Amino acid sequence: MSIVRTQPVHTAKSPRIQTRTSRKARAITALALVASALSLAHALSPEIDFNPPAYVDEMPSKEFLPAPAQAGSLFGQGDRPLFADRRAMRPNDLITINIDESSNASLSSSKDYTSTSGGAVNAPVLGYNGSDEQAAKDTQDLNNQTNYTLQKTADNSNFKGSGQQSRNDALKFSITARILKVLENGNYFVYGHNEVLIDGEKRLVTISGVIRPYDIERDNSISSKFIADSKIAYTSIGAIGQTNHKKDGTKAIEDEFPF
């Protein structure tokens, strides 16, 4: 009986296949990095928290007691009497807010820096005052070996920088808000949200804040300048809104680029 030993066969991948595999791996890694950068840039977009301030939650609500019926009155005492103040005054009542906000900002800065440096350093010279000729010779030899001058070349550095920014913003429209809470001191915490969809472009308007009942006009409206702790957000979602912002990829690259 004879035994024949066979050697295991090792199949090596073609260099071309390995190159393709490495390229695919690099492409997948690059796509993953870009996706993570885009998600991070989107997550860092500024937002507004429209929750009421802490003191609004801490302050108790005002209690509304039913008005006592008056005998002999010609008009009823129901929810809609003939003569009554039509302005908002209770929770879930509606009020019109006229938003008229504008801001102007201008900023400029400049910097000019100049630096010049230079100099030279000479090695010290030893002097021998004795009568020993050999010592005097050794001193002179030492001075000859260390007779060097350390000189720094002239160094000039200049830096100039300047920047200027100017911005004008204006926001003017009306929105109907709702009284969410009547505080114990009589002030109202209001919240309003409006969505308009026109030809694929969506407009979102949100407002919240605290108002006084004395600032409400007879037509049940109030100006935004009378709102305390006001928070106003105007967002446009669509093709037009996207043109006013940088693409997420461009913004992510600019944020990570160190120069």
pLDDT band at 166 (very low <50, low <70, confident <90, very high): confident
- Average of per-residue pLDDT across 15-32: 63
Q: Per-residue pLDDT tens for 67-86?
A: 666 665 555 555 555 555 66
* Number of neighbours of residue 59 by Cβ within 10 angstroms: 16
The range of the structural domain enclosing residue 97 comes to 54-61+79-109+166-256
Tokens 């005002």 locate to 62
The answer on 157 and 171 residing in a single domain is: no
pLDDT band at 179 (very low <50, low <70, confident <90, very high): very high
The answer on 192 and 130 residing in a single domain is: no
Domain count of the fold of the chain: 2
The answer on 123 and 95 residing in a single domain is: no
- The answer as to whether 242 is a domain residue is yes
- Which carries the bigger pLDDT value, residue 45 or residue 98? 98
CA 44 vs. chain centroid, Å, equals: 7
pLDDT at 159: 78
Task: Check whether 49 has a pLDDT greater than 60.
Answer: yes
Distances 63 to 87, 91, 143, 181, 183 between C-alpha atoms, Å: 18, 11, 101, 11, 9
- Which carries the bigger pLDDT value, residue 90 or residue 143? 90
- The answer as to whether 68 is a domain residue is no
Angstrom distance (rounded) from CA 59 to CA 213: 17
The DSSP output letter for 91 is T
